[in-house]
Amino acid sequence: MIGYMTVGTQNLEKAKKYWSELLGETGAKVFSENERIVCIGKGPDQIFFAVCKPFDGSPSAAGNGNMVAFRCETKNEVDRLYAKAIELGGTDDGPAGERGPTFYGGYFKDLDGNKACFYKMG
């Protein structure tokens, strides 16, 4: 299934700082990087997340309808990570809360406008 996900950025250093600090709350860390991409996770043998400058050199653009969702173990973890995303400069795109009887999630956009969610199922 999924091996890794990437989102584009115009400012790799700012994106690296934002995402590595945010996902560091889950135990993830930068494990690989170069001048174009930064990989963040618990290791290359796990599902990981990356921020990158677009390969074709065109400006990055947040996709309408595209989103990365990060599974959490508890609703408290969703709340904590959603709040951290906003604290680091992300913007609210739907505060953490119930979205039905079996889904709890908090939606935000990163510094480049990429949409993401922390969620708990069940």
Closest CA to 17 of 112, 116, 120: 112
Please say if the pLDDT value at position 121 is more than 90. Answer: yes
Please say if the pLDDT value at position 65 is more than 90. Answer: no
How far apart are the C-alpha atoms of 8 and 60, rounded to whole Å?
5
Please say if the pLDDT value at position 63 is more than 90. Answer: no
Helix (H, G, I), strand (E, B) or coil at 80: helix
Closest CA to 89 of 116, 117, 61, 110: 110
CA dihedral of residues 37, 40, 43, 48 (deg, nearest 10) = -90
Please say if the pLDDT value at position 64 is more than 90. Answer: no
The pTM is what?
A: 0.92
Please say if the pLDDT value at position 103 is more than 90. Answer: yes
How are the residues of the chain apportioned to helix, strand and coil, as percentages rounded to the nearest 5? 20, 35, 45
Please tell me the CATH code under which domain 4-121 is placed: 3.10.180.10
Lowest mean pLDDT among 24-28, 46-50, 56-60, 83-87: 56-60
Average pLDDT, the chain: 96
